[in-house]
Each structure stands twice: as C-alpha cells, then as structure tokens.
Amino acid sequence: MANETKSSHAAANAKMEKIVSLCKRRGFIFQSSEIYGGLNGAWDYGPVGVELKRNIKDYWWRRIVQLRDDVVGMDGSILMNRAVWKASGHEVTFHDPMVDCKVCKRRFRADQLETCECGKDPKKTPLTCGSELTAPRNFNLMFKTYVGPTEDDTSVAYLRPETAQAMFVQFKNVLEVARKKLPFGIAQIGKAFRNEINPRNFTFRSREFEQMELEFFVPPDQGLKWLEYWKDERLRWYEEIGIPRSKIHVLDVPADKRAHYSKGTYDLEYEFPFGVQELEGVAYRTDFDLKQHQEASGKPLEYFDEETRTKFIPHVVEPSAGVDRTLLAVLCEAFAEEEVKDDNGKTEVRTVLRFHPRVAPIKCGVFPLLKNKPELVAKAREVRDLLRPLMNVFYDEAGAIGRRYRRQDEVGTPYGVTIDFDTLGEKGPELKDTVTLRERDSMKQERIPIKDLHGWLLQRIN
C-alpha cells in the first residue's frame, strides 16, 4: 500500500472518529442500551439527532408525497403475514453467504471481505488473522419471531427487512381509495430490520434502520423513462438537503449485478470517510413484485387503463433510501474543523456542523447576553416565544456568549440572536428592540430589528 493511500486512510478514520465522538458528546447518536454494553447494530438518536432525523424524513415526505398529486403515502406494519415473504422471495433467497475464519472464528460476509474490520487489503495479504476460511454457508437476514401463544411453524413471522412489500400488497386498496391513474406512486417511511453478520461503520450498516421508499407504478413501456426521472429527482433532493451533486457517485449497475427481474438500477453512492458507499438504490423492478403477489395470493393486482381499454400489471420504479445513511451523509458533509481566533486573538480550532438550514435540528439559538439581568432575560424569552411557534429554537442563558455560540456551532444551528443592552435601548433609541444576529458559517454579526426577525429567518430555513 502506498504511503499516500495509507495516510489518507488514517485521515478518513480520524475524521470518522471525530464525528462519532461529536455525535455522542452533543447528543446526535448514542449506542443503544449503552449502560448494558450496547447491542451490536442498534443505535439511539439523542435530542438533536432525533430533530435532524425528523427534518430529513419530513422533507422527503413533503417533496415525495405532499407536494405532488401523483404520490400518496401509507404506513404499514412491521409484522406482516409470512406469506408476503414467501411470495417476495425473501424467505428463500434473502441471505448472505457467510464464511468463518478457521482459527480466530470471526464470521464475515463472504462477498464483503474487502471491508472487514482487519482493514487489510485482501488482494495482497492473507485474510483476517491470516488463516483459512470455511466454505460459504447461507444465513437468512430476516429476524424471526412467533405471533400468538404457540411457537411453531404456523405462527412464524418476520420483522420486515424492507418497507417496500407493504406497498405492493396494498396496491389495490390504495389504488381504489386514491382514485389515481398511472403513473402514480405509494410512499412509506418506516423501520426495517436485517440480521447483519457484521454491523459496521457507525450507523451505516446496522441491524435496525429506517427506510424511505417510493413504489412508482407505471405502464410497462414507461419503466426506463421513469427510472431516469427518479434518479434525477433524487439527486436533486440530496442537493436540497446539503449533499452536493459532486459528492454522489451514480453507479449504473450492470445487468449481471442487478436483481434478475430488474431492467435497470442506479446506485447513488456517497463519499463517506470510510469509502464510497450506497445511499440509495433507484431500481426499475418491472412487474416482478405485483406478479409474485398476484400469483401467491390469488387476488388480481392488475390495472385497467381506461384510455387504451387494456388491463395489465403495472411496472414499478423504486427509489429506496436509508434514513440513517442519509443522516450520516448529512453529518459527514456538514462536519468541519477550522482555525479561528478567539476573543484574545489566540488561534483555536472551531468544530462546526454546516447543516443546510432546512435540516438543522435547531434553527436559531436565542441568548440573553447575561443571565443575571432580569430585563435581558425577559426580553430574550419574549424573542424565544415569538420565534418558537414558527421554528425549533434553543434558549440558552448559561456561560459566556462566545461559548454559547460555539455550542450551537457544534450542533449546526445556522443562526443565533443575542439580546444585549442595546436591545433594551440603553445606548439610545435607534438600537432599541434590535438584536445581534450571528451567522454560523461566516460568524458575521449584524443588527436586526426584532420585528423583522421571523421573516428574515423563515426565508432562510425552509
């Protein structure tokens, strides 16, 4: 391995470590059940993490469902009838080939050895601890449980490994109530579960995760056209939440790497510190899913086209995104460290999350300059109460104002307003009822009248 590559790997690892540490320190992401040693592949979102996640999901929902006439939403259950997973093929084929190291006994996915934790290049050095691996064996990735009082084959159920199938099996119900013509889509956000052998890369590959999926139903001859449309649309969405087009690699998955039924798939991959990895798949799935369910259930899942007087099974284009992965990409993209001068002119490192204001957990910090001046505190609370119905604000009166700004920088709050003696009119009437507005990225400060504040902010955060 060249020295250059080694040191860029080390830098990437160091960046990732800093992000993981910031996430815990400032309340974005904690290990699940941490006080009990955690649960591998499960994560909890803390106070700012949950707001960031909500913003990402809400913006997806708004753009994909609410701002369109041709998509409706649904929210299906995680536990479904087992027959769904037989028909979809998951019960038989949703598995990973596993290999075990014969000496160190660690278990790996046979197809992903290049990313195993030992970090060695499999092309050049022996794998893992250097010992032989077993032949691959299949391991189903669905979590199994039993529904009802008896534990036998008739009561088996799985935690859904994807949200997609609920939209296929409810296609007819939704079509009837939504009174839509093709092309039209069903969208859903929800948890899914996969019993990954090696959860890794922080929240990137976890056992419990959240998906945002759209099944877009089209006439059979329009699949490839809509595949392009949705690929472009989804790239635009990522840009709108602060992930630039230049950081996303579009992989046109070759036929031999696609699912057998797919006539075209794009993987949208992001340059994570730990490598270029999939954020979202946009797949033209043909009529495979509806056909499988029609056959297995005996219920017609066809569409009658009134214009052409023909009946057919719609084809499907599916943009399938991971909430946790998107959030992690947003975090990685936003993370920055920069040298700045402190109040005494000394150089120090500022950690800042440059979130797009649209997804930032907190839109505006509100600070009285001093907490022991009742007039400042009262005025600051007034400003807080003015803004709060319109956006998520954070009120903070503890510590030096510079430190309060830095704390908000670390959670990515784009704006901060400080209520000082000028606000109270102590330096004359012209500054009365104005506040200092500080911008996170430039750290520039300007004076703005309180009455203009909510308009100014609303323009920038939506």
Per CB under 8 A, contacts with its own copies among 201-240 are 207-208
What's the CA gap between 425 and 427, in Å, rounded? 5
User: Which residue in 18, 20, 30, 370 binds its own copies (CB under 8 A)?
Assistant: 30
The residue range among 137-145, 217-225, 241-249, 255-263 that interacts with its own copies, by the rule CB under 8 A, is: 137-145
Tokens linked to 413 = 């709050």
User: Which residue in 94, 112, 113, 170 binds its own copies (CB under 8 A)?
Assistant: 170
**Sign of CA pseudo-dihedral 119, 120, 123, 128:** negative
User: Which residue in 8, 81, 93, 310 binds its own copies (CB under 8 A)?
Assistant: 81
Considering the complex, state which of residue 170 and residue 351 has its C-beta at the smaller distance from its own copies.
Answer: 170
The residue range among 193-201, 213-221, 265-273, 429-437 that interacts with its own copies, by the rule CB under 8 A, is: 193-201
Considering the complex, state which of residue 83 and residue 129 has its C-beta at the smaller distance from its own copies.
Answer: 83
DSSP at 35: G
Taking residues 391 to 410 in sequence order and writing x for each that binds its own copies by CB under 8 A, - otherwise, the string is -x--x--x------------
- Please give the size of the binding site for its own copies, defined by CB under 8 A: 80
For position 55 contacting its own copies by CB under 8 A, the verdict is: no
Considering the complex, state which of residue 198 and residue 423 has its C-beta at the smaller distance from its own copies.
Answer: 198
Considering the complex, state which of residue 7 and residue 66 has its C-beta at the smaller distance from its own copies.
Answer: 66
What's the CA gap between 21 and 17, in Å, rounded? 6
What part of residues 277-316 is at the interface with its own copies (CB under 8 A)?
293, 296-297, 299, 301
CA distances from 253 to 158, 176, 245, 384, 389 (A): 29, 35, 19, 50, 46
For position 438 contacting its own copies by CB under 8 A, the verdict is: no
Identify whether the C-beta of residue 182 lies closer than 8 Å to the C-beta of residue 96: no
For position 112 contacting its own copies by CB under 8 A, the verdict is: no
Closest CA to 55 of 323, 360, 329: 360
Angle at 206 between CA 109 and CA 79, to 5 degrees: 105
Please, what's the b/e burial string for 254-293 (b: 16 or more CB within 10 A of its CB; e: otherwise)? eeeebeebbbbbbbbbbbbbbeebbbbbbbbbbbbbbbbb
Identify whether the C-beta of residue 197 lies closer than 8 Å to the C-beta of residue 106: no
For position 424 contacting its own copies by CB under 8 A, the verdict is: no
